[in-house]
Amino acid sequence: MAFLGLQSRFHTVSCRKNGAFACFIRCMSSKSEASAEAFRLRIIFEDNHLLVVNKPSGILSQGDSTGDESMFSIAKQYLAHCRGKSSDTSSVYLGLVHRLDRVSSGVLVFAKRTKAAARVSECLRTREGVEKHYLCVVHGDHPDGESIVLEDLLIEAAGTDSKNKTRIYSPTKSAVMSIQNAAHARLEYRSLGPVEKHPPGISQSILHVQPTTGRKHQIRAQLSHANMPIVWDGKYGAPARSSKERGIALHALSLLITHPAPPGLPILFTAPVPERWGIAFGNKVFDVADNIIEQIEKEANLNRKK
């Protein structure tokens, strides 16, 4: 079964059943759709248990000390409005089961019930039945190649100059880094060749990344350490630093989890690549994203039939 090429509000949402992918889409009512537009939510999927959105870059997943708007607060306002509670969000439950960096975009999952939050959180913690796929554009000329695994120890370095920045543990810097606070991080990536458009004299390549651990700033830190900083990510070594609103060239393309409601079918969410990537890098990024999604579906079907 091919993925549905749904446009506008929904991209692709599928679940596996009896050895094949079955469509698992609950279309929103016109009232809910209008509400989502009003609250600037790009909803991928919604049912009684989950609310899945395509987070744009520049917006926090959850509120922090800056007091800036977050996807969490927007989603709560949206749910309150849909339930006729106007701006009163105090009685609206919403669980944030994972996060995306402010400067990244893509699939972000919220739970609408406590049991759903607990089940999805446990699924992500154990990583049983979980697959995360990211698309990013990095500096450097990296031709098409085989998948490469990166394994590092990550640690948040001390000091005000490194606030909110994850570093790779190094024994040579043991005076400022403690191995006790380091966490194992693993990802697999494959270069998909150069972008179509790039600034004169600067090489940029497209990477398909699959993290198998979920550490803070993991992809950004590990790729930077491997001399492949993500485009616009000045915090981790890119030549040009992006504004918080513009974000970096890192997108959570898809997430496969087990739906929290019985019978617990695997469900796959995908989010389209930001349109501005096409302007910056050319249309190849869209073709690459489509190919990755098709491959995910193919592999999932083969694994199910084994």
Residue 181 is assigned to a structural domain of this protein? yes
More confident: 302 or 23: 302
141 to each of 227, 236, 262, 281, how far by Cα in Å?
11, 18, 47, 14
Residue 4 is assigned to a structural domain of this protein? no
In a 3-state reduction of DSSP, which class is residue 158?
Answer: coil
| Whether pLDDT at 89 is above 80 | no
Domains contained in the chain, number? 1
Question: How far apart are alpha carbons 218 and 50 in whole angstroms?
Answer: 26
Q: What is the pLDDT of residues 45-66, one digit of tens each?
A: 999 999 999 999 999 998 777 7
CATH of the domain at 227: 3.30.2350.10
Residue 104 is assigned to a structural domain of this protein? yes
Domain that holds residue 85: 12-305
Q: What is the pLDDT of residues 128-179, one digit of tens each?
A: 889 999 999 999 999 898 899 999 999 875 554 456 789 888 776 555 556 7
Residue 3 is assigned to a structural domain of this protein? no
Q: Give the CA radius of gyration of the chain.
A: 19
Residue 5 is assigned to a structural domain of this protein? no
Residue 43 is assigned to a structural domain of this protein? yes
Q: How far apart are the first and last CA of the chain?
A: 17
Residue 225 is assigned to a structural domain of this protein? yes
Question: How far apart are alpha carbons 80 and 174 in whole angstroms?
Answer: 50
The pLDDT score that the predictor gives to residue 63 is 77
Question: How far apart are alpha carbons 295 and 154 in whole angstroms?
Answer: 30
In a 3-state reduction of DSSP, which class is residue 270?
Answer: strand
Q: What is the pLDDT of residues 260-294, one digit of tens each?
A: 998 888 889 999 999 999 999 999 999 999 999 98
What percent of the chain has pLDDT above 70? 77
The pLDDT score that the predictor gives to residue 12 is 45
> Residue 243 — pLDDT band, cuts 50, 70, 90?
low
Residue 63 is assigned to a structural domain of this protein? yes
Ordered alpha helix ranges (H), 87-184 = 114-126
Cβ(257)–Cβ(129) below 8 Å: yes
Q: Quote the mean pLDDT of the chain.
A: 82
278 to each of 197, 272, 273, 282, how far by Cα in Å?
9, 12, 9, 4
| Whether pLDDT at 22 is above 60 | no
